[in-house]
Amino acid sequence: MIHHTEAYSRLKIQAEELFNFAVVVCYAVPSLKAQVSAIKQGKIGPNLPKPDYFEDDKTPPEGIQQRTANYKLSLAHYTIISSFSFFEAYIKGVVRELIKFHGGDERFIANAERGAKKFLFSDISDIREHKHKLQELPKKGKGDKYVKHSKELLNAGYRFPSQLLSPYGVRAIIKTLKNLRSADIPELLMDGFYFSLDKEGFDKIRQYRNNIAHGDKDKVKDISLKDAIEFNTELRNIATRFDQHLVEHFFIIEEFI
């Protein structure tokens, strides 16, 4: 039995690595500032240890210290951008994984069409009378009879119009995935997979990400690393719930029905 997807495993690793990096930075910058202060006081020095990858850099200790002035804000911004990028990649990856589970684009569509076509061309003579009773404009006072005939059709395995349209839904999901934008994610999750999502909360995070990426500094100048970590946690929670939702309801072999 599948317990979680490969896409979720990747996201989990990425989220942990991002958190670990943030912790390292939050340790490293205060230590760096302390070293620069000690150099100024003549306690150590006169130079900082050589940095990795930038061995030829000639920036004096005071210059390095100046570069740390807004590190908390920068770290918050980059954490949000990274968190959202990882989440976007997860959504695309997990839907592709689902499609692959069902045999790929064409096989997934064919599976959806097979049930619909099988029903359309089957003999329904034994339930035709019940169907005919529902093929009229709804009339007041006949609700109970409509319920009765609907139940008879359901018990006989009848496929109603909305069910016959399911192959179109599979095609729409595949088409959407090819050009998926972050703004499309709520619709894909809620309408495509019947997933419960706080769209307003998601859009808030997405807007922060967009503001940072577009350089709208006035709109993100008050964001903190605490906010960024909370956003990361919220995206991770959405992914966890969505993964469980897909595994429970959509990762089911239907090739042999």
Q: What is the mean pLDDT of residues 155-174?
A: 82
Instruction: Answer whether residue 231 is part of any domain.
Output: yes
Total domains in the chain come to 1
Instruction: Name the packing angle between helices 225-249 and 71-101 (round to 10°).
Output: 10
Residue 200 domain-assigned (yes or no): yes
The answer to whether residues 156 and 127 touch, using CB atoms and an 8 Å cutoff, is yes
Angle at 212 (CA atoms; ends 210, 218), nearest 5 degrees: 110
Q: Is residue 256 part of a domain?
A: no
* Residue 205 placed within a domain: yes
| Averaged confidence pLDDT in the chain | 91
Q: What is the pLDDT of residue 257?
A: 64
Cβ neighbours of 91 (radius 10 Å): 21
Residue 83's nearest CA partner among 208, 195, 247 is 208
The pLDDT of residue 222 is above 80: yes
For residues 140 and 89, the model is more confident at: 89
pLDDT at position 119 is 66
Q: 196 lies in which domain range?
A: 6-104+181-249
157 in a domain, yes or no?
Answer: no
User: Measured between alpha carbons, how far is residue 56 from residues 49, 51, 75 in Å?
Assistant: 12, 9, 25
pLDDT at residue 187 is higher than 90: yes
pLDDT of residue 122: 65
Residue 167 falls inside a structural domain: no
Nearby residues of 138 by Cβ (< 8 Å), 6 or more positions away: 146
State the pLDDT confidence band at 239, using cuts at 50, 70 and 90.
very high
The answer to whether residue 85 sits within a structural domain is yes
Residue 145 is assigned to a structural domain of this protein: no
